[in-house]
Structure 1
Amino acid sequence: MAILKAPQPRYRLYTRFKSYASFASDLILGRIKKGSDVRRLEEALSKKFEVSYVAAVPMARVGIYLTLKYLIKPGQGVIMSPYTVADIVNMVICAGGVPVFCDIEQKSCNIDPDKIEKLIDERIGAVLITHLHGVKAAAHEILKICHKHNLPLIEDAAQSFGGREDKKRLGTIGEAGIYSFGMYKNINSWYGGAVVSKNKDLIDKIKSELERYDFQNIGFMAKRILKGLLTDILTQPLIFKPITFWIFRFGFLYDISWINQRVEIELDAKRRDVTPAHYLARLTPFQARLALCQLDRIDPESEVRIQKAAFYHQGLQDIPNLVLPAKGNNLSDIYTVFPIQYRDRKKLLKWLMFNKRDVAAQHLKNCADLPAFSAFYRDCPVARKTANEVIVLPTYPRYPISEVQKNIEAIRAYFGAK
């Protein structure tokens, strides 16, 4: 039967039964906003990542906004990758900064260190780097450039929680680092994140502002949790294999937009000059408790993803038409997904979907080309090319090695590789 040949889903949330049960019990008992767990989470992160100061925030993007607000002066430029979530560009603008787009390296999909220094002048106030896909962004090399010009380095480690570079955790190398505990991240408290820094004054200012905010709205959180529950149901193999996969396969193969839009992001990027009111909230003790119980799983799960990335590297490295990320070592690259690049992405994806492989395009855009940010346009040809070529292969812990092997076999078959 064809149904029996359906694959495992391209992604599953890092959720457990407790992710839902704890919300229900805390809601019934009135404990969502009670407890000292936010402080406990900050202390646990400080110890685990060996960083001096931590501020829990309602979302990673809010952490970026607050960090920039207190590190740069209004009107200063922030050098950053254009290959990122559009709302990260908005957080730079909302913090009073001016996005200065710097092109990226093709293999890593991260900002190109060799191009940063050419953009530095008296108008620049900070450098913001992103460790995308769980792949490190040469933070130490960029830090040397920042030190030379007396600029703070800010690390967006939202997709790389737990990764390392030269034995230091990503996010702890520069002046400040930002983590995400969002629904699709490898630590999930539905919304949430943290800013870490060796700069006590910065963290004190961020915490002082956070104290003026209300806790995250319970209704807002509940909608996110319901979306997560629906995602978990639809990607549960007993549902995914006979139903979900075939719907999305049909939609992709026959270009049915109302189906495809359910799994795409960044469809209508807009510029923001003011931070949305619902962003300005505090992480609840419930969310902190949820994050705390996941901390010990971070490194073991990273090792599982690294093992799957090693299979992809071994199985695809001899195909000349593919661009693969560099090989990491010792938790340096934790591969929250395994990104490959191919010039005719749509054709390869259709081949894979036709052959019952559930993988996806990376839907991030080259923000330097978006009409919403035309005021900050800069020609970034590598980011433009990359945005049209990246395919993300699954690595999440519950994804079987046998499925990794089937992905490799299908890709090799497309290229006629033996």
Structure 2
Amino acid sequence: MKVPMLDLTEQYQNLKAEILPAMEDVMSNARFILGDNVKKLEADVAKYSNVNHGIGVANGSDAIHIALSAIGVGPGDEVIVPSFTFFATAGAVARAGATPVFVDCDPKTFNIDPAKIEAAVTDKTKAIVPVHLYGQMADMDAIVEIAKKHNLGIVEDAAQAIGSKYKGKSVGELGTAATYSFFPTKNLGAYGDGGMVVTNDDELAEKMRVIRVHGSKPKYYHHVLGYNSRLDELQAAILNVKFPHLDEWSDLRREKAENYTKLLNEQVGEKVVTPFIADYSHHIFHQYTIRVERRDELQKFLQEQGVSTMIYYPKPLHLQPVFAELGYTEGDLPETEKAAAEAISLPMFPELKIEQQQYVVEKIAEFYSKN
């Protein structure tokens, strides 16, 4: 059996009758930049996030950079970030001219450990960027408390977490701003790049709208140094078709996750550590990520059996060559380094079949029974 990590073909076939007319409408009207589709998506995603503003941008990486720039992060500043995450989180900090300060992760959730944040705060610290990894929100009460104590901004990196909740509150409600990615593999994915920042702050929202169009307002009058980062109208049209299905897809992911956990506990047992769901969390399972021993050997075996998997993330950011000048060494963030050696994500998408899940788990059980 072949089990892909992600298969978007069935989703497209189900929505094809709506998506193609939506794209045709954009092309017929010839309004390609910041048109009605972008405005509708911005309004709908802001409402979904229970905030007042959505600012559509070119991608999730730009979303973080624009949010940081709008709150005044720049050269000489430090921004606290997790090391166990995708490069864009720290990359956006560096692009803003600031220094990323890496903090270890919670071994259960993989998210930034609030207990380690306070020690990383200095008089140069300007903001914290917690990442809601794999679809589960970080422990925001503790992070908000630290931010208030030290007068820091919070930019929630919710690239993987649209629809996730913390104690009933949505992404974007708890920080200064929150950022989404609409990369095709995300729970709400476009057919190319796309992103958005959401915020309740009127002044901040206006700053970000100006930054995304070369810092101009009105057109051709530039008051700040912005750049070109706008959500494409065609991608917004596609996302508007998909958006009403998001909660259903998230519920299906949660069902698949429950089934994986049940099967793994029954057939593999203690050789696998299944995902921890915090009691404050509504987890939407962008990824179903387990911890295992002999992770790389398992991945190779599963690949030979037709099962695709992904390792997010094999080399922590604090040990990446691009950040070598910051002086981090192996052993500095032990939980992050352990997670990078043990974590592996299994196939996860709403259309995943039970038979496929059973096959994946059977092959994991087979690997450990042989080894």
Partner of 1:366: 316
Check 1:8–1:19 CA distance in 2 against 1; reply closer, same or farther (3 A cut).
Answer: farther
Partner of 1:413: 366
Check 1:350–1:292 CA distance in 2 against 1; reply closer, same or farther (3 A cut).
Answer: same
SS in 2 for 1:114: helix
Q: For each residue in 1:79-130, what CA deviation from the matched residue of structure 2 results, as whole angstroms up to 9, or x when unmatched?
A: 0011222233221011121100001122222111111111112111111011
Q: Partner amino acid for 2:249?
A: E
Deviation at 1:372, TM superposition (A): 0.9
Partner of 1:53: 53
What pairs up with 1:15-414 in 2 under 5 angstroms? 15=12, 16-17=15-16, 19=19, 22-23=22-23, 26-27=26-27, 30-33=30-33, 35-71=35-71, 72-189=73-190, 190-212=192-214, 280-317=228-265, 319-327=269-277, 332-378=282-328, 379-414=332-367
CA contact (8 A) 1:303 1:331 kept: no
Check 1:343–1:94 CA distance in 2 against 1; reply closer, same or farther (3 A cut).
Answer: same
Runs of 4+ in 1 over 6 A off after TM superposition: none
Deviation at 1:141, TM superposition (A): 2.3
1:325 and 1:130 map into 2 onto residues whose CA distance is 17
Check 1:360–1:70 CA distance in 2 against 1; reply closer, same or farther (3 A cut).
Answer: closer
SS in 2 for 1:360: coil
CA contact (8 A) 1:131 1:160 kept: yes
Deviation at 1:150, TM superposition (A): 1.7
Q: Partner amino acid for 1:41?
A: L
Partner of 1:227: none
1:34 and 1:100 map into 2 onto residues whose CA distance is 35
1:91 and 1:34 map into 2 onto residues whose CA distance is 23
1:121 and 1:364 map into 2 onto residues whose CA distance is 29
1:365 and 1:164 map into 2 onto residues whose CA distance is 28
Q: For each residue in 1:195-247, what CA deviation from the matched residue of structure 2 results, as whole angstroms up to 9, or x when unmatched?
A: 11121111110101223379xxxxxxxxxxxxxxxxxxxxxxxxxxxxxxxxx
Query: Which consecutive unaligned segments of at least 5 residues does structure 1 have?
Result: 1-5, 215-274
Deviation at 1:389, TM superposition (A): 2.1
Q: For each residue in 1:115-154, what CA deviation from the matched residue of structure 2 results, as whole angstroms up to 9, or x when unmatched?
A: 1111112111111011111122112221122122221121
2:124 and 2:215 map into 1 onto residues whose CA distance is 32
1:310 and 1:7 map into 2 onto residues whose CA distance is 21
Check 1:85–1:360 CA distance in 2 against 1; reply closer, same or farther (3 A cut).
Answer: closer
Partner of 1:11: 6
Q: Partner amino acid for 1:291?
A: L
Q: For each residue in 1:148-192, what CA deviation from the matched residue of structure 2 results, as whole angstroms up to 9, or x when unmatched?
A: 222112110001111111111123321110011112111122211
1:362 and 1:131 map into 2 onto residues whose CA distance is 14
TM-score if structure 1 supplies the norm length? 0.77
Partner of 1:250: none
Q: For each residue in 1:264-307, what CA deviation from the matched residue of structure 2 results, as whole angstroms up to 9, or x when unmatched?
A: xxxxxxxxxxx9x9x83311222222222222111111110001
1:40 and 1:357 map into 2 onto residues whose CA distance is 39
2:280 and 2:298 map into 1 onto residues whose CA distance is 32
CA contact (8 A) 1:156 1:171 kept: no
Deviation at 1:22, TM superposition (A): 4.7
CA contact (8 A) 1:345 1:388 kept: yes
CA contact (8 A) 1:84 1:364 kept: no
Greater shift, 172-181 or 383-392, is seen at 383-392
Greater shift, 347-356 or 176-185, is seen at 347-356
Check 1:34–1:170 CA distance in 2 against 1; reply closer, same or farther (3 A cut).
Answer: closer
Deviation at 1:29, TM superposition (A): 5.9
Partner of 1:228: none
Check 1:185–1:173 CA distance in 2 against 1; reply closer, same or farther (3 A cut).
Answer: same
Check 1:48–1:402 CA distance in 2 against 1; reply closer, same or farther (3 A cut).
Answer: same
SS in 2 for 1:130: coil
Q: Partner amino acid for 1:400?
A: K
Deviation at 1:42, TM superposition (A): 1.5
Identity %: 29
Check 1:122–1:55 CA distance in 2 against 1; reply closer, same or farther (3 A cut).
Answer: same
Deviation at 1:326, TM superposition (A): 0.8
